[in-house]
Amino acid sequence: MRVPSTFAFLLTLLFLLTGIEHTVAQVSPYEGQVPDSTELRVLRQFYYATDGPNWTNRENWLTGTTLTEADSWTGVQLDNGDIKTLHLPANGLTGSLPASLGLLTGLHYLTLSNNTGLGGSIPISLGQTGLYRLELNACQFSGRIPRQLSGCRDLVVLDLRFNRLSGTIPVELTLLPINQLLLAGNQLRGSVPETLGQMKSLFHLDLSRNQFTGPIPSSVRFLENLVYCLLDHNQFSGSIPAELGQCFNLTQLDLSHNQLQGSMPAELTNLPYLNRLIASHNALISIPSWAGKTNIPGFLLVQNNFLEFGSIEPNFQEIGRPWPLQFEYSSQQTLPADTLRCLSGTTKTLHGSMTGTRNRYQWEREIGGAWVDIPGATDTTLTITRATSAQGGLYRVRVWNDLVTSWGQYQYLYTRPGIYLSCLTSPWLKTCP
């Protein structure tokens, strides 16, 4: 019996469609954008490059022959047929990262922190991946931060703290949607890019313990989501930018151990959530008052600057009770000694005042390496009549304030020491021959 041509055509079409459907069903569930063979090869290279046989936990690694089976390897996670996650923190990895990691274009999370034997340079090929989070904290990576990481267009967390990285911050990184830029504890240097202000999503900035220099960029005013700003232990200079007062959500600001000068801007007293403000070990000459503010920091630390009671006193609401819950201001630095000269037998007056409305004074003289009170010398001036070479030496004024006390104890500051000599061979005490 002859089959009609129309029926034969339909039968052939059905057969072809069934075959195509069968072929698609075999491929799509198993293979992602990157060939499985490539991803398996990269995983094996990564394993041996980081001394996999000696990892702390290497459960199931290198077992099986398919990428699906690799999903059971410790620290490996797949999504849509591609490797999505490599999560192996504190796992005893040593060696360096292979450049072939850049072939894992579906990689979103690379977390290898706290592997102290893992180092070398950060592969520039990682910029070819789709990383969301790159966490290499507390390893031994060296060299520069690759500017090629700017190819990770969706990168939100870059944690490279406590490595041995050098060079500057690549300007290209400031174009990414990073919300956590964590670079503390490296050897980074130079100035912070003014383009930092373009990182509108940034809420955690940690550049502490590096060698950054120059001013803090005024573009910080655009970081409206910034919550943590840690810039301590660098060499930042200039003044504290008043623009920080526009970082409305700022809760922690650490500027300590830098070379910042001038006055702390009053704009910082208007930050509604600021809880911890640390500006110790700089060269600041005054701080604003938080008196009567509703948004008073819980911690205000300003030791080792050049502050006087004139700006410390307004931050006390009554004797021994500061406005901030914890207010640390003692001790302060003093400027180098002045040299004062006069002829024997003449009168010389030394001056040692300090700003503040409730100050008390006591003149001291250095004798035999110890500071000794001068009886009756409790004013801002000390007059020495009929001066002799025996009275030459180093003088200073100890100052305390009736309002500014801690646990019932006075806190002492000192004015600039003054040297009274008829001749001088060093900045400190030298009597005339």
Tokens of 75: 């620290």
Residue 429 lies in a domain: no
DSSP assignments along 9-73, one per residue: HHHHHHHHHHHHHHHHHHHTTT--SS-HHHHHHHHHHHHHHTTGGG-S--TTTT-SSSHHHHTTS
- pLDDT at residue 430 greater than cutoff 90: no
Higher-confidence position of 241 and 21: 241
Q: What average pLDDT does the chain have?
A: 89
Q: Which residues contact 107 (CB under 8 A, 6 or more apart)?
A: 82, 83, 84, 85, 86, 101, 129, 130, 131
| CATH number of the structural domain spanning residue 361 | 2.60.40.10
pLDDT for residue 349: 86
- pLDDT at residue 8 greater than cutoff 60: no
Residue 267 lies in a domain: yes
pLDDT digits (tens, 9 = 90+) for 367-384: 988 999 999 999 999 998
Residue 254 lies in a domain: yes
Q: What is the CA radius of gyration of the chain?
A: 33
The pLDDT of 83-110, averaged and rounded, is 98
Higher-confidence position of 134 and 341: 134
Q: Which of 273, 307, 328 is the C-terminal boundary of a domain?
A: 328
Residues 265 and 295 in one domain: yes
Helix H or strand E encompassing 7: helix 5-27
User: What percentage of the chain exceeds 70 in pLDDT?
Assistant: 89
- Rounded Cα distance between 240 and 226, Å, is 16
- pLDDT at residue 344 greater than cutoff 90: no
pLDDT for residue 425: 32
Q: Which of 277, 305, 328 is the C-terminal boundary of a domain?
A: 328
Residues 282 and 415 in one domain: no
pLDDT for residue 19: 41
- pLDDT at residue 21 greater than cutoff 50: no
Helix H or strand E encompassing 396: strand 393-401
pLDDT for residue 371: 93
Alpha-carbon distances, residue 358 vs 32, 176, 263 (angstroms): 75, 53, 22
Q: How confident is the model at residue 24 (pLDDT cuts 50, 70, 90)?
A: very low
The model's pTM is 0.88
Residue 21 lies in a domain: no
The pLDDT of 343-352, averaged and rounded, is 83
The pLDDT of 299-316, averaged and rounded, is 97
pLDDT digits (tens, 9 = 90+) for 173-201: 999 999 999 999 999 999 999 999 999 99
Residues 323 and 382 in one domain: no
Residues 105 and 216 in one domain: yes
- Rounded Cα distance between 151 and 174, Å, is 12
Residues 280 and 357 in one domain: no
Residue 285 lies in a domain: yes
Q: Which of 307, 328, 349 is the C-terminal boundary of a domain?
A: 328
Instruction: HSE, CB side, 13 Å, CA atoms: give it for residue 207.
Output: 24
pLDDT for residue 30: 55
- Residues spanned by the domain of 226: 36-328
Lowest mean pLDDT among 17-21, 30-34, 354-358: 17-21
pLDDT digits (tens, 9 = 90+) for 310-339: 999 999 999 999 999 999 999 999 888 777
pLDDT for residue 419: 62
Q: How confident is the model at residue 17 (pLDDT cuts 50, 70, 90)?
A: very low
pLDDT for residue 389: 78
The domain tally of the chain equals: 2
Residues 284 and 360 in one domain: no
Residue 41 lies in a domain: yes
Residue 12 lies in a domain: no
Residues 377 and 232 in one domain: no
Residue 25 lies in a domain: no
- pLDDT at residue 229 greater than cutoff 80: yes
Lowest mean pLDDT among 100-104, 220-224, 326-330, 332-336: 332-336
- The dihedral region occupied by 376, where left means phi > 0, alpha psi between -120 and 50, and beta the remainder, is left
- Rounded Cα distance between 47 and 74, Å, is 12
pLDDT for residue 107: 98
Q: Using an 8 Å Cβ cutoff, are 120 and 145 in contact?
A: no
Q: Using an 8 Å Cβ cutoff, are 285 and 309 in contact?
A: no
- The dihedral region occupied by 190, where left means phi > 0, alpha psi between -120 and 50, and beta the remainder, is left
Residues 350 and 214 in one domain: no
Residues 205 and 352 in one domain: no
Residues 305 and 388 in one domain: no
Residues 307 and 184 in one domain: yes
- Rounded Cα distance between 362 and 400, Å, is 9
| CATH number of the structural domain spanning residue 98 | 3.80.10.10
Residues 194 and 167 in one domain: yes
- Rounded Cα distance between 149 and 125, Å, is 8
- Rounded Cα distance between 148 and 402, Å, is 59
